[in-house]
Amino acid sequence: MTQAKQKSELGQYLYSILTVVGLFLVIRTGVVQAFYIPSSSMEDTLLVGDYLLANKFVYGVPVDVPLTSLSLFRLPALREPQPGDIVIFRSPRDEGRDLIKRCVAVGGQEVHIINKVLHVDGEPVPDPPWAKYADPRYYPAAASPRDNFGPYVVPEDHFFMMGDNRDNSSDSRYLRAVPKRLIKGKAMILYWSWEPDTRGPYYQGLTSLPAVVATFIWRLPSRVRYGRLGDVIH
């Protein structure tokens, strides 16, 4: 094989790799992105250990400054977040941190929570199918906004977000409405889910890397929530 032919084949190989990497980055940046659920704030709709794909295109893709959480501009959206959507957004308090909650009201609507019951524009809103309340107590508004909040009018181009685990969620009751610029995408589908390993560190007592890997693999099948794989999120 001549040196020129070797260089040509190497160039084609590198071009193929760069093309694949480029397509991956375009898809990840502009279409879908993977997210992990680390907390119980959306139980029992989303569980700790769920991995999901989010549609970033539907709300308009934010174009960020590389290696920062700052957005330069947002591409046109197909539609805005609507009540009932499960939305990924940057935390208003820490824009380097992503949160996932359910949109319950949009700009111009009035939110009022009375003894845990959500009212929007004066009408009670049914809880999502898998929502839950872990604490039977009711706190007055002066003590906490958890159970009694508002009335509060959502500013234009803002969205009021709440976790489905209503008693254990840091959301718009505490952070107020989320501005449109912080919206990242709409939760779409679960592609993986496994339960936390509650039997203790799988590496405890093991002295070699192969033993650690083998034990991890041995435990893995019993932790996978097979019935959740591929579930559409709503």
Catalytic residues: 41, 101
The residue assigned the tokens 């390993």 is: 197
Residue 153 and residue 107: Cα distance in Å, rounded?
Answer: 8
Is the preceding omega at residue 151 within 30 degrees of 0, hence cis? yes
Residue 24 and residue 11: Cα distance in Å, rounded?
Answer: 20
SS3 state of residue 36: strand
Residue 179 and residue 155: Cα distance in Å, rounded?
Answer: 9
Residue 93, token pair as written in the block: 């308090």
Residue 38 and residue 201: Cα distance in Å, rounded?
Answer: 18
Residues 85-115, buried b or exposed e (16+ Cβ, 10 A)? bbbbbbebeeeeebbbbbbbbbbebebbbee
Sign of CA dihedral 75, 77, 78, 84: positive
